[in-house]
Chain A
Amino acid sequence: MDSVIRVVAMYGFLLLVFRLTGKRTLGEATPFDLLLLLIISETTQQAMVDDDHSMTHAFLLILTFAVINLGLSIIKQKSPAVERVLDGVPVVIVEHGRLIKDRAKKERVDEEDVLEAARETQGLERLEQVKYAILKKDGKIAIVPEG
Chain B
Amino acid sequence: MPGELQDAGEEFMGQTRREWVVQRMAWVVMALVLVGALVGFFGNGPWSERTAVSEGGGLSVEYQRVVRFQAQTHLVFTLEAEGGSPVTLVIGDGYLGHFDLESVVPEPESQLAGPDQMVLTFRPVRAGEPVRVSVRAKVEKLGTIAGVFTLQAGDIRGGVPQRVRIEQFALP
Where the two chains meet, the residues of A that have a C-beta atom closer than 8 Å to any C-beta of B are 1-5, 51-57, 60, 63-64, 66-67, 70
Chain A residue nearest to B72 (CB atoms) is A51
Chain B residues bordering chain A, tally (CB within 8 A): 21
Q: How far is the CB of B29 from chain A (nearest CB, A)?
A: 10
Chain B residue nearest to A5 (CB atoms) is B38
**Interface check B171, CB cutoff 8 A:** yes
Chain B residues contacting A2 (CB-CB under 8 Å) are 44
Chain A residues contacting B40 (CB-CB under 8 Å) are 1
Interface 1/0 per residue, B16-50 and A, CB below 8 Å = 00000000000100110110011110111110000
Q: How far is the CB of A58 from chain B (nearest CB, A)?
A: 10
**B145-172 at interface with A (beta carbon < 8 Å):** 171-172
The stretch of B63-71, B75-83, B84-92 that contacts the partner chain: B63-71
Instruction: Say whether A56 contacts B43, CB under 8 Å.
Output: yes
Which one of A54, A64, A67 contacts B71 once the chains associate, using CB atoms below 8 Å? Answer: A54
Instruction: Say whether A4 contacts B37, CB under 8 Å.
Output: yes
Chain B residues contacting A66 (CB-CB under 8 Å) are 30
For the complex of A and B, list the 3 residue pairs with the smallest distance between their C-beta atoms, beginning with the closest.
A54-B68, A1-B45, A52-B71
Which one of B33, B38, B70 contacts A53 once the chains associate, using CB atoms below 8 Å? Answer: B70
Instruction: Say whether B39 contacts A54, CB under 8 Å.
Output: no
Instruction: Say whether A67 contacts B42, CB under 8 Å.
Output: no
Chain B residue nearest to A60 (CB atoms) is B37
* Alpha-carbon gap, A2 to B72, bound state (A): 13
* Alpha-carbon gap, A3 to B33, bound state (A): 12
What are 30 inter-chain pairs, A to B, with CB distance below 8 A? A1-B38, A1-B40, A1-B45, A1-B46, A3-B42, A3-B44, A4-B34, A5-B38, A51-B71, A51-B72, A52-B68, A52-B71, A52-B72, A54-B69, A54-B70, A54-B172, A55-B171, A56-B42, A56-B68, A56-B69, A57-B71, A60-B33, A60-B34, A60-B42, A63-B33, A66-B30, A67-B27, A67-B30, A67-B31, A67-B34
* Alpha-carbon gap, A64 to B38, bound state (A): 11
- Known A-B contacts: A52-B70, A52-B71, A54-B70. Give 18 more (CB < 8 A): A1-B37, A1-B38, A1-B44, A1-B45, A1-B46, A3-B44, A51-B72, A53-B70, A53-B71, A54-B69, A54-B71, A56-B69, A60-B33, A60-B37, A63-B30, A63-B33, A67-B27, A67-B30
* Alpha-carbon gap, A60 to B27, bound state (A): 14
Chain B residue nearest to A7 (CB atoms) is B34
